[in-house]
A and B are shown apart, each in its own frame.
Chain A
Amino acid sequence: MTDAPTPPARSWLTRLAIYGPLLLFAVFVVFVGSQLGRETRVTVTSKLIGQPMPAVSLPGLGDAPGLTSADFKAGKPVLVNVFASWCVPCRVEAPQLAQLTAMGVTVNGIAVRDAPDDVAAFLTTNGNPFARIGLDKTGQTQIALGSSGVPETFVVDGAGIIRYQHIGEIRPEHIELLMAKLAEAGR
């Protein structure tokens, strides 16, 4: 099966096909070599950290006042909790929100894509830790906040700047961290 030693002449296209893999691999090596030791990012943080709160003007529950941008310029850091009555982890974090309220923290709620009756029922069952609740019926405010799911909790400082984003439910072990972030935002 030994091949003939004198091959026919090849076009440049054939040569390209034959040396193509080597060229591609060379590009790979150069690229990878230049990237070695680069720091790899492991967490995704919201682009809104350090940015002002987006404009908020949400109706409230029943006769209660809603949530507006003015609520975030009170001079004191607050938590914004994005939740929904249809979200199970939001029930899990209810005791922790209550505990934060008891520690003197102001918590504002944004109920995402929810019906007022369902929210009311949710608050009756799980307790109401919120100073203000805004109903975000279309989810537009949630999107403007850069929040992709429920629950999420934001630390907003007294000037209305978002300082921290907590993704997922608040578990008992997170309270200390949130209090630290609030203290930091209050400085």
Chain B
Amino acid sequence: MIVELGHAALWLAAAFALLQALAPWLRAPVGDAERWTGLAVPAALAQALLVSLAFGSLVWAFATSDFSVKLVATNSHTMKPMLYKLSGVWGNHEGSMLLWILVMAVAGAAVSLADSPLGDRFRALVLSMQGLIALGFYAFLLAASNPFERLGVAPTQGNGLNPLLQDPGLAFHPPMLYAGYVGLSVAFAFAVAALLERRVGPAWAAAVRPWVLAAWAALGCGITLGSWWAYYELGWGGYWFWDPVENASLMPWLAATALLHSVAVLAKRDALRNWTILLAVIGFSLSMIGTFVVRSGLLTSVHAFAVDPARGAFLLVLLALYIGGALLLYGLRASTVAVGEGFAPVSREGALVANNLLLAAGLGVVFVGSGYPLLVDVMGAGPISVGPPYFNATFGPLMIPLVLLMAIGPFLGWGAARTDKLARKLAVPALFAVGLVAFAVAVWDVRAVFSLIGFALSAWLGVATLAILWGRLPWRTPRATWGMALAHLGVAITLFGITASGALTRELLVNLRLGESAEVAGYTMKLVDVAPVAGANWTALEATLDVSRAGKPVTVLHPQARLYTSPMMDTTEAAIHTRLNGDLYAVLGKPDGSGRWQLHVWWKPFVVWIWAGGLIMALGGGLSMTARASARRSAAEPVGALVAA
């Protein structure tokens, strides 16, 4: 019954989305012709409420293991822990599309409830675009992937959820990612409304800024969580694989990063009008394309849920309508948007333009790398794979000038910047960069040029960013400046983590009998015991490894080789000892038949900095978001906020 109510609520929500889409275009027959425009706000709120109900009823079906619902029967199991019963709601195609709509409706409600500096009509147009996009996804959900479908005969037990997905990191990774993807729909709707109303300018930029920052922060969090999950769950210590689906989340993030910086330029200097609009359109378009790629089975990946060409065709039509429509409108209107103001090359905005170009180039490189294998295969040249070597050789070098500039940009003022004090300000970061490189060569014995550049850049950016805050009273520093500084510091920290873990990782692969020990990076591990253990829906062999350093016990690691019962699947549960200066990462392999156990142990220096930096970036975005928008107010501020608008 509750499930049927959820299904009905979804239909009703779709009706409200339609009303929301039409509201600003309706003309009331009597009285004020424009008064029906005001319907958009209550319609958006009603839609959000109804989708929440629908989502809630599906959650309820999963929580109570109602196997008469097809989706629950195919994806859940009574023996699963409650957290994973709930995360199972979005661990499948239909549920994740419902989550997509839920997040979209919540974003619409947020737009309805927030201030609307551009006026009620503009807000109604933004909501109309959101409603229009949502409608397509409602149609997709209700017609092609109904999550509430019942089975004629309910099975007594469900199929279970892929064990790799039964993990707290992954329980929260999709919702965060979706919040980012769908959050960008607000920027998209703002861009389309601005084109329709011909209101591209600083006021528009200031109004869209918090939405871009919110989406950017959520997307960053989602990507960070996903990367962390891959690191500890997949059992070989990698954190980024340049997998097509990872790239599908990285590309909107790169576009959003470029967008939030170009929004700053538009807000402050009224420059980059067309470019900013285009970025706003592209950001959400890439989110939709990413979803499409995952759902259509076009690219094979561990992330792909279902290979279904009919669904793929449906989504492709939606994409063609929305993205094609927006780009057509852009083409028609961009030629009528007066060119914004010009700018001096050496200035804050000059640095931001360079940043945008580099980010766009990086985006292009990732796009080409993700699509190229498909293209080559279609041309008949056989399957090829584009992996880390391509991305390291192309994306990496583009990030070098980007990070160099990131340190300098905040020291430049808006307009023609004074450069006389610049050299002195940058001397300290440069000194630290040289110092860290010398340290890496002398102490860590690093010789690879790419790694040394990574160390130099992380010190350069980190120290330059701290220098922005140096000598300022924390409570008198604008929140936007804090946000920018945190975000840049996050980049420096992540870069350091990537460089250090890449250059200094030590690996050990041994066969040990009980009682034997082996050594890696100064840590001695002794295999004390291997014993069976059992969980709610798995059994495992668990090793006990006593870890010591110079005779002193450090920790005890318990890597497991797990066998899940529903569905049947082997997984490895790595045992990880995390320290600020590195992780010990142990994986238990197979026995060799003669009483020895295969152990794979890594020492990964500073690897936790990668995700810490990612979260700090997102935190900076969140902090910046709460800063009051102030278009064109403090243009003279020399070291103000990078993204202050």
Contacts and interface: CB of A to CB of B under 8 A. Distances in A.
A92 B300 contact: no
Nearest to B590: A92
A26 B285 CA distance: 13
A186 B296 CA distance: 41
A19 B332 CA distance: 8
Nearest to A10: B335
A35 B298 CA distance: 8
Contacts, number: 96
Interface stretch (B79-87, B530-538, B591-599): B591-599
A128 to B, nearest CB: 15
Contacts of B323: 25
B467 interface: no
A58 B200 CA distance: 74
Nearest to A30: B320
Interface string A23-51: 00110110111011110111010000000
B311 to A, nearest CB: 10
A14 B204 CA distance: 24
Contacts of A88: 509-511, 598
B203 interface: yes
B334 A18 contact: yes
Contact of A3 (B285, B313, B336, B593): B336
Contacts of B319: 29
Interface string B250-290: 00000000000000000000000010001001100100010
A7 interface: yes
A41 B383 contact: yes
A32 B511 contact: no
B511 A1 contact: no
Contacts of A21: 278, 281-282, 327, 330-331
A32 B383 contact: no
Given A36-B313, A40-B307, A19 B590 contact: no
Contacts of A185: none
Contacts of B336: 3, 5, 7
A19 to B, nearest CB: 4
Nearest to A22: B327
A1 B201 contact: yes
B274 A40 contact: no
B331 A36 contact: no
A95 B592 contact: yes
B335 A7 contact: yes
Interface in B196-251: 198-204
A47 to B, nearest CB: 9
Interface size band for A: 35 or more
A25 B200 contact: no
B338 A3 contact: yes
Contacts of A28: 289
Secondary structure at chain A's binding surface: helix, strand, loop or mixed?
helix
Interface in B315-367: 316, 319-320, 323-324, 327-328, 330-331, 334-338
A18 B374 contact: no
B430 to A, nearest CB: 38
A91 B330 contact: no
A10 B85 CA distance: 58
Given A18-B335, A25-B323, A35-B378, A92 B598 contact: yes
Contacts of B337: 3, 7
B309 interface: yes
B508 to A, nearest CB: 10
Contacts of A18: 274, 330-331, 334-335
B297 interface: yes
B591 to A, nearest CB: 8
A180 interface: no
A78 interface: no
B316 A29 contact: yes
A170 to B, nearest CB: 11
A28 B338 CA distance: 30
Interface in B363-381: 374-375, 377-378
Contacts of B415: none
A31 B316 CA distance: 11
Contacts of B38: none
B497 to A, nearest CB: 29
A187 interface: no
B327 A25 contact: yes
A37 B331 CA distance: 32
Interface in B149-208: 198-204
A174 interface: no
A28 B328 CA distance: 15
A89 B349 CA distance: 56
Contact of A1 (B199, B299, B327, B330): B199
A103 interface: no
Contacts of B374: 35
Among B200, B335, B594, B598, the most chain A Cβ lie within 10 Å of the Cβ of: B335
Given A40-B297, A88-B598, A14 B335 contact: yes
B312 interface: yes
A36 B298 CA distance: 7
B13 to A, nearest CB: 28
A29 B324 contact: yes
Nearest to A98: B593
A153 B594 CA distance: 22
- Closest 4 pairs (CB-CB, A-B): A1-B201, A37-B309, A95-B593, A22-B327
5 contacts: A4-B338, A21-B281, A29-B319, A29-B324, A32-B316
Interface of B: 198-204, 274, 278, 281-282, 285, 289, 296-300, 307, 309, 312-313, 316, 319-320, 323-324, 327-328, 330-331, 334-338, 374-375, 377-378, 383, 509-511, 589-590, 592-594, 598
Interface of A: 1-5, 7, 10, 14-15, 18-19, 21-22, 25-26, 28-29, 31-33, 35-38, 40-42, 44, 88-89, 91-92, 94-95, 171
Given A7-B337, A22-B331, A92-B593, 8 more contacts: A1-B204, A3-B337, A21-B330, A28-B289, A32-B316, A41-B300, A91-B511, A95-B593
